[in-house]
Amino acid sequence: MPVARFWRDIPQRYNLDGCRCLSCGKVFFPTRHLCPTCRRGSIGQMESVRLKGEGVLHSFSIVHDAPESRRLLTPYAVGMVELEEGLKVTGEIVDVELDEIEIGMPLRAVLRRLGDEGPEGIIHYGFKFTPKR
């Protein structure tokens, strides 16, 4: 399978697709086949759900000492965002000055370049968070 097709065939790579347990109503990202709360009771009870990608900053950290592949990007912020659907996801916070980041600020997910791989130059994309304006 060509690499480009591999990336397109996994919806979670380009969409915030999660799932909801129809037994208890909990939402998960990324998707899973069983609810950890309902266990066997969730078999056949997991439905796909498109997450809005909007929420508020729950916690964050400024990274000053990064792995070699990200050393030139330091300092940068990584945060835990509580989405409107009730779950928390982590991601880099971009398009804002580091001293302007604060707990409770509204954020939205955006698709951005995460990096590349090897001499072939395979580019990896994923989600980062930016202030909701």
Q: What is the pTM of this model?
A: 0.81
pLDDT band at 1 (very low <50, low <70, confident <90, very high): very low
Q: pLDDT-derived band of residue 123, with 50, 70 and 90 as boundaries?
A: confident
Stronger pLDDT, 34 or 124, i.e. the higher one: 34
Q: Sign (positive/negative) of CA torsion 9, 6, 19, 129?
A: negative
| Residue extents of the structural domains in the chain | 52-131
Average pLDDT, stretch 111-128?
Answer: 79
- What CATH number matches the domain at 52-131, 3.30.530, 2.60.40, 2.40.50, 1.10.3470? 2.40.50
Residues 6 or more apart whose Cβ sits within 8 Å of residue 30: 12, 17, 18
The 10s digit of each residue's pLDDT in 20-29 is: 999 999 999 8
| DSSP-based helix, strand, coil % in the chain, nearest 5 | 15, 45, 40
3-state secondary structure of 5: helix
